[in-house]
């Protein structure tokens, strides 16, 4: 059977969250989606609140992943321990709240979802995501594995892709909020894209008011970042996975305005 897996890029601000809630149901029906993973770590700009995670799950997300802003909102800490469908990067300290991997039902298949964080340009004191993946793939049983790699450097994401090709069904990058045009199926059957993009304001700098980012690069004091105004976009990708072979057969980029 072919399972269509929808991965959605970083949700930014309340307007990005509202756009997700409005568009997700229709998108899932049109693309015949079986399972949905949403990166939600920027729904409150720096972090995400429990009620926002709940909104994403009610809207149709099966799993919500995080990243370098996992601990931006202390209100989320208890939910990180209690909600199986909320994942923070697996390669950060086990002393931190939450968990980084889960195995979920996908309409007859068992799917493992892993959230990782990169180490290039992200000072997070994280363990090697490569070594952590080796361990996680030995634990538990699943029909196929999906990975959200929240990382800055495309080189680190690509290196991970070659490392995991043939061992996971799909690997996508998040964090940079800009979609890449390198979606492909790797030689051993893994679906890949370096970055999904974001779900948030179209006329913005990574979701934030442009004048604030400009002020930062001019050396000024931009103040607390605010989500930009105006219409939003929902960006991500659909990975079509053959559950019998564990291979991805197609990757399609998504951009819903």
111-147 pLDDT tens trace: 999 999 999 988 778 999 999 999 999 988 899 999 9
pLDDT at 140: 85
pLDDT at 66: 98
Which of the residues 69, 150, 175, 177 is marked catalytic? 69
Across the range 167-180, mean pLDDT stands at 98
Q: Which residues contact 199 (CB under 8 A, 6 or more apart)?
A: 8, 9, 10, 11, 12, 16, 17, 19, 20, 38, 232, 233, 234, 235, 236
pLDDT at 125: 85
19 labelled catalytic: no
pLDDT at 1: 94
CATH number at residue 206: 3.60.21.10
Mean pLDDT of the chain, nearest integer: 96
Give the range of the structural domain holding residue 18, as residue numbers without chain letter: 2-256
* First vs last C-alpha separation in the chain: 31
CA distance 257 to 242: 29
Number of structural domains, the chain?
1
Return the structure tokens found at 184. Answer: 């492909």
CA distance 232 to 200: 5
pTM of the entire structure? 0.97
pLDDT at 72: 95
Whole-number Cα distances in Å, 230 to 45, 80, 227: 16, 31, 10
Q: Answer whether residue 225 shows pLDDT above 90.
A: no
With pLDDT > 90 as the criterion, what percentage of the chain qualifies?
A: 92
């Amino acid at each position: 059977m072919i399972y269509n897996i929808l991965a959605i890029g970083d949700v930014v601000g309340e307007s990005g969250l509202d756009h997700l809630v409005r568009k997700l149901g229709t998108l899932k029906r049109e693309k015949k989606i079986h399972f949905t993973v949403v990166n939600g770590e920027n729904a409150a700009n720096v972090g995400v609140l429990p009620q926002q995670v709940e909104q994403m799950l009610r809207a149709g997300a099966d799993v919500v992943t995080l990243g370098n802003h996992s601990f931006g909102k202390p209100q989320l800490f208890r939910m990180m321990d209690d909600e199986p469908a909320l994942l923070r990067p697996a390669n950060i300290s086990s002393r931190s709240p939450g968990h980084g991997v889960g195995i979920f039902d996908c309409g007859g298949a068992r799917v493992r979802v892993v959230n990782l964080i990169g180490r290039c340009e992200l000072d997070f004191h994280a363990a090697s995501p490569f070594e952590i993946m080796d361990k996680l793939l030995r634990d538990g049983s699943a029909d196929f594995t999906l990975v959200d790699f929240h990382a800055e450097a495309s080189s680190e994401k690509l290196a991970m892709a070659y490392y995991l090709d043939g061992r996971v069904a799909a690997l996508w990058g998040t964090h940079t909020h800009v979609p890449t045009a390198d979606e492909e199926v790797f030689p051993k059957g893994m679906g890949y894209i370096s970055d999904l993009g974001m779900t948030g304001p179209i006329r913005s700098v990574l979701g934030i008011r442009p004048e604030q980012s400009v002020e930062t690069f001019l050396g000024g004091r931009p103040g607390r970042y605010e989500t930009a105004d105006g219409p939003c976009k929902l960006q991500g990708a659909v990975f079509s996975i053959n559950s019998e072979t564990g291979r991805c057969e197609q990757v399609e980029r998504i951009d819903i305005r």
